Chains A and B, each alone.
Chain A
Amino acid sequence: MSWPLYLALKQLFPTGRRFPFFTAISMLGVALGVALLVVSISVMGGFGREIRKMIVNTQGEVQVRSSGLINAPALVQAAVNKVQGVAASTPFAEGVAMIEHQRKPAFPAIQGVDLDHVDGVVPLRKYIIAGQFDDLDDDRVILSSQLAMTIGARLGSTIEVYSPLLLEKLKNDEVLLPRELTVCGIFEIGHQQLDSSVVIVTLRTMQELYGLGHAVHGINVKLMDGADPDEVAKKINRALPVDGVAKTWMDANQEFLFVLQLEKNMIFFLLLFIIVVAAFSVASSLLIAVVRKTREIGLLGALGATPGQVAACFCYQGIIIGVAGTAAGLALGFTVVHFRNDLVGGFTKLTGSAEALERFYQFSNLPAYLSGKDLLLIVVSALFVSTLAGLLPAWRAAKLKPVEALRSE
């Protein structure tokens, strides 16, 4: 071990002292910053992952659309299914409609799903909280939970559906008759927007409501495990007719994912300042140490140390505090992440806010996920900032001339 490292360790953990107070306080600052970063980025990552999972579960990993309608969905579906990496596909039609129940109107998005193929691609049935997915047929409808609550519909209620096609009929002075559908199920995905304004009907019902004939708006595609969505989307595009375009779920939700990433980056940036503040405290403590140890620094020079070696001794102290603080912060952060649900549960019980939490955030369990990349970014940032904190004191120490340092009072 080089002597600057040896002396740095000894100055941080002096011989015969059980509890190195200065070192502990300095490390604690860095550790708290790292722990907060780990917890926040993990929770943000958890939310992001849940939302991504939800998007994939409702849209598939790749979506094929056309500039207009897909008039021969069976042909396109057959072409898509032949592409390597594709596990299954299902056609869909979508739009908006006005629904009414007991004079309470709503304007939800309406999705027509192909009952023969939807199960292989979109696991809608796992989000059903009342009724049965299997009961869905051309005269029935599944409502999202908050929408059902808003219009006061329950299982067995009849709702009236007005589609844009009915407006066309109205222009031609035809009789305006809404389609009556019976509620056979209620679903909840865990996403405010989807849970408050989505209606699911069969593809045939949707085609009738919109007058699509046999045409559909798109095809949702599920990939085989491990298949790269970008690669498969490219292959599908090569196999598709000219006006068909396959987009991955990431491309289709680019703006939403960008906002998610931006929020995560902002949280990282803001919380990094805790480590920066801790680093200032480390730098300040080390600068005081340089002043306090001026004569010792002079002694090192007198015994044969070069200015570079003296600088390294203080630089190492910043690095050691950074490494130990980061390690402690990671341990603390992962412990908090591990017990996050107990902590949130305890807090909400204490404040009586458990219901509000579920109502506004649609979760009772806090999701958490920290990618290797995020972990590396936290560790590297903490170490970089701590190392910088040691540089200023190191520079000050290296500038001291031994003869003047030894003479100082």
Chain B
Amino acid sequence: MNEHVLKQDAKHGCLLVATGLHKSFVSGERRLEVLRGVDLAVAAGESVSIRGESGSGKSTLLNLLSGLDAPDAGEIRWEGVPAITPAARGRLIGLVFQSFYLVPELDALENVLLAARLLGKIGSPERARAVELLRRVGLAERAGHVPAKLSGGERQRVAIARALMNSPKLILADEPTGNLDEGSGDSVINLLLALCAEEGAALVLVTHNPTHAARCARPLFLREGGFHAA
């Protein structure tokens, strides 16, 4: 499997290559091995979906891929580099969460701009891009509204715009439709796939929904700590 992944890396010029990832958590006196040697390579512009039962390690894997958490064993390379700094993560990876995580004190436009602010970029081009992204997610009219005045679907659209703000090469989305009704969920997935395609960003989508998973080019299923055929 490792050789396969590395070959794929070489062939496609992969953005992200994870090999032999292990991760376990201590629960009381037991140690739960959530990931047992997971390999994954994500090429530029491709879309990958990861399905699995609750507790199968989908979110844990996404945390490792984003560099927010470290594996117990195994290696991750981001554009060939085996470590990622917070600033590099902000540039390379856009994150979308199930619970949106918008800053309640900021309006929609300010929330989108926050991703650029954190990298020290806040000028006219960034403002123009944030306005444009809000237009593309259909919220141009609601740019001045704080999250409390937006619906769940609208909040997730703002979160998607924020994830794309720094033109990342990779979007990691952790159950982005988990808190939405079916209609809003479908609409958000359509938007996410369309925008990633337009921006040329690769997408790793963690979801429970088989229909949404099937929309991605490479659907994967995580079970018993490893990938299996979907």
Which A residues are within 8 Å of any B CB, using their own CB?
2-3, 6-7, 10-11, 14-17, 295-296, 298-306, 309, 402-403, 406
Contact = CB atoms under 8 A, between A and B. Distances in A.
A208 B79 CA distance: 107
24 contacts: A3-B114, A3-B118, A7-B103, A7-B114, A10-B105, A11-B105, A14-B105, A15-B106, A15-B107, A15-B110, A15-B146, A16-B107, A16-B145, A295-B101, A298-B101, A299-B101, A300-B118, A301-B86, A302-B68, A303-B162, A304-B89, A305-B118, A403-B69, A406-B97
B86 A306 contact: yes
Contact of B110 (A10, A301, A304, A309): A10
A11 B99 CA distance: 20
A10 B103 contact: yes
B101 A403 contact: no
Contact of B68 (A3, A6, A17, A406): A406
A3 B110 CA distance: 11
Given A14-B146, A299-B101, A304 B90 contact: yes
B1 interface: no
A296 B107 CA distance: 15
Given A403-B63, A406-B97, A304 B103 contact: no
A141 B115 CA distance: 87
Contacts of B12: none
Contact of B66 (A2, A295, A302): A302
B61 interface: no
Give the interface centre of A7, A300, A304 by most chain B CB atoms within 10 Å. Answer: A304
A406 B105 contact: no
B218 interface: no
A305 B105 contact: no
Given A14-B146, A303-B114, A303-B118, A296 B103 contact: yes
A304 B97 contact: no
A406 B62 CA distance: 13
Contacts of B120: 2-3
B83 interface: no
Contact of A6 (B86, B95, B117): B117
Identify whether the interface residues of A are mostly helix, strand, loop, or mixed.
helix
Given A298-B101, A302-B89, 15 more contacts: A3-B117, A3-B120, A10-B110, A15-B107, A17-B105, A295-B99, A295-B101, A300-B118, A301-B68, A302-B95, A303-B90, A304-B87, A304-B118, A306-B87, A406-B101
B113 to A, nearest CB: 10
B194 interface: no
Contacts of A303: 90, 95, 114-115, 118, 162
A306 B86 CA distance: 6
Interface of B: 63, 66, 68-69, 86-91, 95, 97, 99, 101, 103-107, 110, 114-115, 117-120, 122, 145-146, 162
A304 B86 contact: yes
A16 B101 contact: no
Contacts of B119: 304
Give the interface centre of B69, B103, B122 by most chain A CB atoms within 10 Å. Answer: B103
A14 B147 CA distance: 12
Nearest to A305: B118
Contacts of B88: 304
Contacts of A296: 101, 103
B120 to A, nearest CB: 8
Contacts of B118: 3, 300, 303-305, 309
Contacts of B104: 14
Contacts of A11: 105
A301 B68 CA distance: 8
Contacts of B90: 303-304
A298 B103 CA distance: 11
Nearest to B105: A14
Contacts of B89: 302, 304
Given A296-B101, A296-B103, A302-B66, A16 B146 contact: yes
A9 to B, nearest CB: 9
A268 to B, nearest CB: 37
Nearest to A9: B105
Give the interface centre of A2, A11, A303, A403 by most chain B CB atoms within 10 Å. Answer: A303
Contacts of B68: 301-302, 402-403, 406
A15 B101 CA distance: 17
Give the interface centre of B89, B91, B145 by most chain A CB atoms within 10 Å. Answer: B89
A376 B122 CA distance: 36
A15 B111 CA distance: 11
A350 to B, nearest CB: 45
Contacts of B106: 10, 14-15
Contacts of B63: 403
Contacts of A10: 103, 105-106, 110
Contacts of A305: 86, 118
A269 B162 CA distance: 50
B166 to A, nearest CB: 8
A302 B174 CA distance: 13
Closest 4 CB pairs of A and B: A304-B90, A14-B105, A3-B117, A403-B68
A263 B198 CA distance: 74
Contacts of A402: 68
A270 B106 CA distance: 40
Nearest to B69: A403
Give the interface centre of B88, B104, B115, B162 by most chain A CB atoms within 10 Å. Answer: B104
B67 to A, nearest CB: 9
Nearest to B149: A16
Give the interface centre of B69, B97, B105, B110 by most chain A CB atoms within 10 Å. Answer: B105
